[in-house]
């Protein structure tokens, strides 16, 4: 028997804004139910805190510095080995509903048997979208209200009679700026009852990357007061409850149609959301947990019920884990580790460390540009490249052209005290710097299944031209 697969991917969902991850009041009962019947990964980190790069890393199981697609609008050819083609080649019918942010658009029909691709950007064009913190009610009949529609389309695809197993991927816009949702979700949470954590104000801008200050200025956060932030949070929570109800509809449909026992479900987000942390909204290429620690829940029909996997995990590990779980060959180009065999082990330590990368395409803007007003973090604000490593409870972020950061998460979970350059932590800083360098250099080391793949044999009559044939004289003089 081949298992079916459903992937549900909200955009920009923080892990700490789900009940099963500890949020005290949001009430995500359906996602919690999914967690209770599967594996919840407590410390999984995205490959990049930007949509396109993260989704490419997920689908191909390659790191950002390997595929090198660094911007929002990045897409890849379907010819690159990936999850979708692996399942399609294995005989699955495929359906995708929602935003792509992944594959070359003109070739989407090659991948998906059924498709409703829709990407709303940042709700661009809505008359109430003025700032990165804008929040408002989205009319039920507005063209941007697509979450319920996409859910029903996915359910219809799943229930359509077919001899082939199915793979359905639901890519929601929610919860994403602008912070808007239709009734009744727009009034589920009272902004007056929302409290802001210490990370909202208790930070030192002089010790943070310069890109943070520039983004605050360009996004006009000086016009955003505490009530504006609370309103945005209330609507963000409403968006999440909208997604949660739709997850419930998917689960109910599987149960009512006797599909629970042969369908695997993966729920994960591509990255998080700043949501007022450090007086910023949206996302930029930085590595705070609010952006990089993602919710991941994996439900197998018969294995690993109610497991909390506390070890460190990377987004690139998810597809190899899925493919092994589904008994589908893992392409040798995928660098992630399958955790399928380890999921039942209690207190498994996971990886020694994880990395996350971001930025590129433009240097960091070191001074805010007078008159520049942005509703989303686009160039010139914040694209200087950087990389992060977490090992144990220490997290080091290195930026090519900006201030670096080091945090002790055990004593500073809100990442407020930057220890980078502190002589008391010099040994830790040096060790993590070396480990990060080694990890970045090692991103091109692929999984090897056989010596034949690693060291291909060539016919005796094959001739290789000398290196000089491929280089200019100037190049070869430097080798």
Count how many Cα atoms sit within 13 Å of the Cα of residue 80 in the half-sphere of its side chain: 19
CB 290 within 8 A of CB 49: no
Cα-flanking dihedrals φ and ψ of residue 309, to 5°? -90, 105
The predicted pLDDT at position 466 comes to 34
Residues with Cβ within 8 Å of 98's Cβ and at least 6 positions away in sequence, in order, are 9, 116, 117, 118, 119, 146, 150, 169, 170, 171, 172, 173
Q: What is the mean pLDDT of residues 396-420?
A: 97
Q: Could you read off the pLDDT of 211-265 as tens digits, one per residue?
A: 999 999 999 999 999 999 999 999 999 999 999 999 999 999 999 999 999 999 9
Lowest mean pLDDT among 167-171, 179-183, 318-322, 469-473: 469-473
In a domain, 96, yes or no: yes
- Of all residues in the chain, what percent carry a pLDDT higher than 70? 91
Beta-sheet strands, E only, within 129-165: 135-137
In a domain, 230, yes or no: yes
Number of domains in the chain: 1
In a domain, 111, yes or no: yes
SS3 percent helix, strand, coil of the chain, rounded to 5, is 35, 15, 45
Residue 461 pLDDT exceeds 90: no
Residue 465 pLDDT exceeds 50: no
In a domain, 475, yes or no: no
Residue 475 pLDDT exceeds 70: no
Q: Are strands 353-358 and 386-391 parallel, antiparallel or unpaired?
A: antiparallel
In a domain, 333, yes or no: yes
The residue segments making up the domain with residue 73 are: 4-358
In a domain, 433, yes or no: no
Beta-sheet strands, E only, within 85-223: 93-98, 114-117, 135-137, 166-171, 179-181
The predicted pLDDT at position 297 comes to 98
Under DSSP, is residue 82 helix (H, G, I), strand (E, B) or coil?
coil
Count how many Cα atoms sit within 13 Å of the Cα of residue 223 in the half-sphere of its side chain: 12
Under DSSP, is residue 158 helix (H, G, I), strand (E, B) or coil?
helix
Residue 184's CATH number: 3.40.720.10
pLDDT confidence bin for 362, thresholds 50/70/90: confident
In a domain, 202, yes or no: yes
Q: Are strands 405-408 and 135-137 parallel, antiparallel or unpaired?
A: unpaired
In a domain, 401, yes or no: no
Residue 451 pLDDT exceeds 80: no
Cα-flanking dihedrals φ and ψ of residue 169, to 5°? -120, 120
Residues with Cβ within 8 Å of 320's Cβ and at least 6 positions away in sequence, in order, are 61, 330, 334, 336, 337, 338, 447
Q: Could you read off the pLDDT of 324-345 as tens digits, one per residue?
A: 999 999 999 999 999 998 887 6
The predicted pLDDT at position 446 comes to 57
What pTM was computed for the model?
Answer: 0.92
User: Which DSSP letter does residue 362 get?
Assistant: S
User: Which DSSP letter does residue 436 get?
Assistant: H
Residue 385 pLDDT exceeds 50: yes
Residue 368 pLDDT exceeds 60: yes
């Amino acid at each position: 028997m081949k298992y079916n697969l459903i992937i549900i991917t909200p955009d920009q969902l923080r892990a700490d804004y789900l009940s099963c991850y500890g949020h005290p009041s949001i009430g995500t009962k359906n996602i919690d139910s999914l967690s209770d019947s599967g594996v919840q990964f407590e410390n999984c980190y995205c490959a990049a805190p930007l949509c396109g790069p993260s989704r490419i890393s997920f689908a191909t199981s390659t790191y950002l510095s390997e595929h090198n697609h660094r911007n929002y609008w990045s897409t890849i050819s379907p010819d690159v080995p990936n999850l979708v083609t692996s399942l399609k080649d294995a005989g699955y019918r495929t359906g995708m509903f929602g935003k792509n942010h992944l594959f070359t658009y003109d070739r989407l029909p090659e991948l998906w048997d059924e498709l409703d691709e829709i990407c709303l950007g940042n709700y661009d064009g809505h008359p109430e979208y003025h700032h990165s913190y804008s929040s408002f009610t989205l009319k039920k009949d507005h063209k941007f209200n697509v979450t319920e529609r996409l859910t029903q389309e996915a359910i219809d695809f799943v229930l359509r009679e077919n001899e082939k197993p199915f793979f359905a991927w639901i890519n929601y816009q929610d919860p994403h700026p602008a912070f808007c949702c239709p009734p009744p979700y727009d009034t589920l949470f009272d902004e007056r009852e929302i409290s802001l954590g210490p990370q909202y104000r208790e930070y030192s801008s002089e010790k943070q990357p310069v890109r943070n200050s520039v983004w605050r200025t360009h996004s006009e956060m000086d016009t955003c007061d505490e009530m504006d932030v609370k309103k945005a949070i209330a609507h963000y929570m409403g968006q999440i409850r909208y997604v949660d109800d739709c997850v419930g509809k998917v689960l109910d449909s599987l149960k009512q149609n006797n599909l629970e026992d042969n369908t695997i479900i993966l729920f994960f987000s591509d990255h998080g959301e700043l949501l007022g942390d450090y007086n910023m909204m949206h996302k930029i290429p930085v590595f705070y947990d609010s952006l990089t620690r993602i919710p991941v829940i994996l439900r197998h029909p018969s294995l690993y019920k109610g497991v909390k996997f506390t070890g460190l995990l990377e987004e690139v590990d998810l597809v190899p884990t899925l493919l092994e779980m589904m008994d589908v060959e893992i392409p040798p180009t995928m660098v992630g580790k399958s955790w399928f065999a380890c999921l039942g082990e209690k207190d498994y330590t996971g990886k020694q460390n994880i990395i996350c990368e971001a930025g590129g395409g433009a240097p960091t803007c070191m001074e805010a540009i007078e008159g520049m007003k942005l509703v989303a973090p686009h160039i010139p604000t914040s694209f200087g490249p950087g990389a992060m490593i977490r090992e144990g409870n220490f997290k080091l972020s290195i930026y090519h052209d900006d201030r670096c950061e080091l945090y002790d998460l055990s004593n500073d979970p809100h990442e407020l005290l930057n220890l980078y350059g502190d002589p008391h932590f010099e040994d830790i800083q040096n060790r993590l710097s070396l480990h990060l360098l080694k990890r970045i250099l090692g991103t091109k080391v692929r999984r090897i299944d056989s010596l034949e793949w690693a060291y291909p044999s060539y016919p005796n009559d094959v001739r290789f031209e000398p290196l000089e044939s491929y280089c200019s004289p100037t190049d070869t003089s430097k080798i």
